[in-house]
Amino acid sequence: MAGIGAIASLSGILAAGILTYLFYNWYRLSHIPGPFWPSLSKYWLVQQSLKGQMHSALKEVTDEYGSLARVGPNDLVTNDPDILRKMMAVRSPYTRGPWYDAMRLDPARNNLLSLRDEEAHTNLRNKMAAGYSGKENSSMEGTIDKQIQNLINLIERKYLSTNKKSEPMDLGQKGQFFTLDVISDLAFGKALGFLDKDEDVFEYIKITEQYIPAMLVMANIPWLARLTHTRLFRSLLPNEADKLGFGAFIGVAKQITRDRFQPGAEPQKDMMGSFIRHGLTQEEVAGETLLQVIAGSDTSAATIRVVLLNLMSSPPCYRKLQEEIDSAIKTGKISSPITDSEAKQLPFLQAVIKEGLRITPPATGIFNKTVPKGGDVLNGIFVPEGTQIGSSFYGVHHSKKIFGEDADLFRPERWLEAEGDTLATMMSTSDLIFHYGKYQCLGKPVALMELNKIYVELLRSFDFAIVNVNQPAKFLNAGIWIITDFWVRVTRREESP
């Protein structure tokens, strides 16, 4: 009986401890509105991530509970652009949260995205900025032009349809082939040949479509992400000895970097050359070029595909953009290929790009930031120090308050109709697509240059039509958009200028 009593007492103590722990963690943020069950555990966040619905789930929460809402025991989410700018400002005391621990692409080391030490992050970022901006990479625009031409050549060689034959093309796949060749050419000094071979080199796309969703799920369980980086699990993760997939890319990055650091190696005026000149170590260069390929290809490819899908689904917009391109060609306002500066002068093209980025933000991860010591007051609500505040980027860019009652529709004209403060607010909110301040995406100039060029070059030569109007493509959100089975029919424009 004594034993039973002792067990009962121990059980009672444990139960009391668990209840006290749960109550304390729940109570700490109980003054902030949000759905009840997510406030008790991380299960809800993990569940939404597994479903590929995190972007829409977070939007629904902020739509219902307000611009600052609770989604976990120590987790809030916001769709307020002012809060996002405050957290990401250059001198902000907010820091990256444990969510970023899962962003290590090479388990052995951090990169610019996963690095949480603020001073180290700033120093590394400053060393890399010139390479990304193009200031020390004079071939950036020419490299993008070359890969666009490679895409056009591939279409003409294999995927042109006529009245007599149909050659459907998976634009989801080819769009990513293009961005992978662009970014690998910029990062490594040579493209990896996705377009030339018209195949998934190293089965990179196939394997990363499995790996990246898993990585984003683990980001919601930081201790698990850190555990996978230990020696115990490292053998199960991608590594440079792999012949296929993500690991093969790690191997390519390391080999090319080793070659660049060999005594007597000739300096080159590309991104890697810039990184080396600014003092990045061999390990840092390998890690950052790998990040370039992963982050730069998936996000840009998603926007290229989304814009073309929306244009094909909106014939008036499609025709209006094509007419603007045709008119600019006839009047000599654009070259062949179009330059980045020329593209910036085409108002409807710019409206289409902004609207495409807005309607489907390319990166929709939660990107948690940690509330600094002493806590903070946000929208009149006190938030204790150590709280994790995530971003509902999908909610921000679908805000009816900012973009109008039709914010869920693809309508580029909104950018040409808006004026004054309304336009200024839309523009400043749109800038958050590439984040802000000390966390602004360094790849922004590259991404915008790709977008400024590719639609003009494709639409001046070809017409595109959706093959399966009932299901144009398959979408999965894993913090980034995985878009597959996007089949289109491509025909030559006989009457193009």
CA torsion 433-436-438-440 (nearest 10°) is 30
Distance of CA 432 to the CA centre of its chain: 12
Give the CA angle between residues 415, 420, 422 to the nearest 5°: 60
Give the number of other Cβ atoms within 10 Å of residue 157's Cβ. 9
How far apart CA 147 and CA 170 sit, in angstroms, is: 18
> Which residues are CB-neighbours of 150 under 8 A, at least 6 positions away?
178, 181, 191, 195, 196
Tell me which DSSP letter residue 266 carries. P
Give the number of other Cβ atoms within 10 Å of residue 315's Cβ. 9
First to last CA, the chain: 95
CA distances to 5, 6, 7, 270 from 1, in Å: 6, 9, 10, 78
What Rg value do the Cα atoms of the chain yield, rounded?
A: 24
317 is in an annotated binding site: no
Give exposure, 189-206, as e/b (b: 16+ Cβ within 10 Å).
bebbbbbeeeebbbebbe
How far apart CA 248 and CA 258 sit, in angstroms, is: 15
> Which residues are CB-neighbours of 20 under 8 A, at least 6 positions away?
none
Give 15: exposed, middle or buried? Use CB within 10 Å, 0-12, 13-18, 19+: exposed
Of 295, 289, 271, 274, the closest CA to residue 441 belongs to 295
How far apart CA 252 and CA 397 sit, in angstroms, is: 37
In the annotated binding site for heme, the residues are 441
In the annotated binding site, the residues are 441
